[in-house]
Chain A
Amino acid sequence: MSGVRVLVGTRKGAFVLSADGKRDRWDVTGPFFGGWELYHLKGSPADPNRIYASQSSGWFGQMIQRSNDGGKTWEPVGNKFVYDGVPGTHQWYDGTPHPWEFKRVWHLEPSLTDPDTVYAGVEDAALFRTTDGGQTWSEMPGLRGHGSGPHWAPGAGGLCLHTILLDPSNAQRMFIAISAAGAFRSDDGGATWKPINRGLHSQYIPNPTAEVGHCVHRLAMHRSRPSTLFMQKHWDVMRTDDAGDQWKEVSGNLPTDFGFVIDVHAHEPETIYVVPIKSDSEHYPMDGKLRVYRSRSGGNEWEALTKGLPQQDCYVNVLRDAMSVDALDKCGIYFGTSGGQVYASADGGDTWNAIVRDLPPVVSVEAQTLS
């Protein structure tokens, strides 16, 4: 029987939520790695029982944990993330050069075909890869080696590489995004990269249309249309239909186009979801109402989804890796909040309910569809 497993990373541990295909009763296990920050957990598309987790702590640094049994048991694997060659400098908040320093892994993206190959997006921004199940990690230096590296600057959350998208139709093509440098694409398996930020307009940087420097919060792709990407930027919701060569704004009638998450319906490549947040200094929904907005037209025309979500006195945030979809029919949508709730919809967003609440602040949510 089909089912869903939702991997939840929080500020104080990881949780695994499981349900059958009806998705009306949820089993909660955890916390795993209690007391540690779990920035991200993700399962291998090639072997859903192989799950990788980024476990970090301000005291004890970075660990990577691996499960081979769907999150029941875990083993620590390699945690040595050392930049290739002389790290060099990026730009610091005050404009001065600052040495690249590894802080943590923000995002783990397992290969689409090989359970032992995983990409890791880290802070300070760089891309690492393992091909031995996480035992050893090597930087893919072509990204930082792109000439713009010394001009990258951290956003408020740090200089983080937070999004990695693998093109299911072209093993040589991948996309990443960095706050606050922007989006980049590789067409040669990650050896070389080019910035893909044309069409972005960011008034908070000296040159609003600069090649790099944009605070991209999240990218999303539907696997059937890998050249169409959707972006939640610091402000603005954007889309491209040519793999990032040109972006256009699709914020349309959103009440505010600041936010962190964006995702695509599993079966409808023009149906997308965002959670508008009031502003860059007020990280909570407008008017105390938690609303997911859905566009069925790939942007511009948006509808508020509110049924089952708190519509008064709600002031939580939804962070960039904290939304995911399952591939059941109907598509399930999941997101986690800074208040410790994980909300789910089993009908494409029409209705919602909290499948768990009162967890530590949620950092990441990943849904796995199990057959």
Chain B
Amino acid sequence: MIRVVLPAHLRTLARLGNDEVQVQVSGQPTLGAVLDAIEATYPVLRGTIRDYGTEKRRPFVRFFACEQDLSHEAPSTLLPDAVVRGAEPFLVVGATAGG
């Protein structure tokens, strides 16, 4: 299971509490696979993290893990071992931007 921390507005949309969530990733634990798993587990979040048409990360959403910025990595990028082992969470972050 991959531990995922979602931003407050997405937790509200998915009717989650304040805690992190866990998602099951099938196949290789890649960046794209964890995003697929988040959307499969919480369908209301489809389109809020990645654009429907292009599948690109929305510009003001960032992906962090293990003090690394994974936002610009390809979907096929493997997640850090600590995230795969559950020692560290995968963070979806609303970028500091605007009001």
Contacts and interface: CB of A to CB of B under 8 A. Distances in A.
Contact of B52 (A35, A59, A60, A82): A82
Interface string B8-45: 01100100000000000000000000000000000010
Interface string B77-99: 00000000000000000110110
Contacts of B7: 59-60
A83 B52 CA distance: 11
Interface in A53-84: 57-63, 76, 79-83
Contacts of A80: 46-47, 52
Interface residues of B, number: 19
Contact of A76 (B44, B52, B97, B98): B44
A59 B13 contact: no
Given A35-B9, A36-B9, A76-B13, A60 B49 contact: yes
Interface in A1-46: 35-36
Contacts of B52: 79-82, 102
A60 B95 CA distance: 10
B47 A59 contact: no
B13 A63 contact: yes
Interface of A is mostly: loop
A140 B9 CA distance: 31
Contacts of B97: 58-59
B46 A79 contact: yes
A60 B61 CA distance: 7
Contacts of B9: 35-36, 57, 59-60
B94 A59 contact: yes
A61 B52 CA distance: 10
B47 A58 contact: no
A57 B52 CA distance: 15
Nearest to B61: A59
Nearest to A83: B53
B69 interface: no
A60 B12 CA distance: 12
25 contacts: A58-B98, A59-B7, A59-B9, A59-B94, A59-B95, A60-B10, A60-B49, A60-B61, A61-B48, A61-B51, A61-B58, A63-B13, A63-B48, A76-B44, A79-B46, A79-B47, A79-B48, A79-B52, A80-B47, A81-B52, A82-B52, A82-B53, A83-B53, A102-B52, A102-B53
Interface of B: 7, 9-10, 13, 44, 46-49, 51-53, 58, 60-61, 94-95, 97-98
> 8 closest A-B pairs (Cβ-Cβ)?
A60-B48, A59-B60, A59-B94, A79-B47, A76-B44, A80-B52, A82-B53, A61-B47
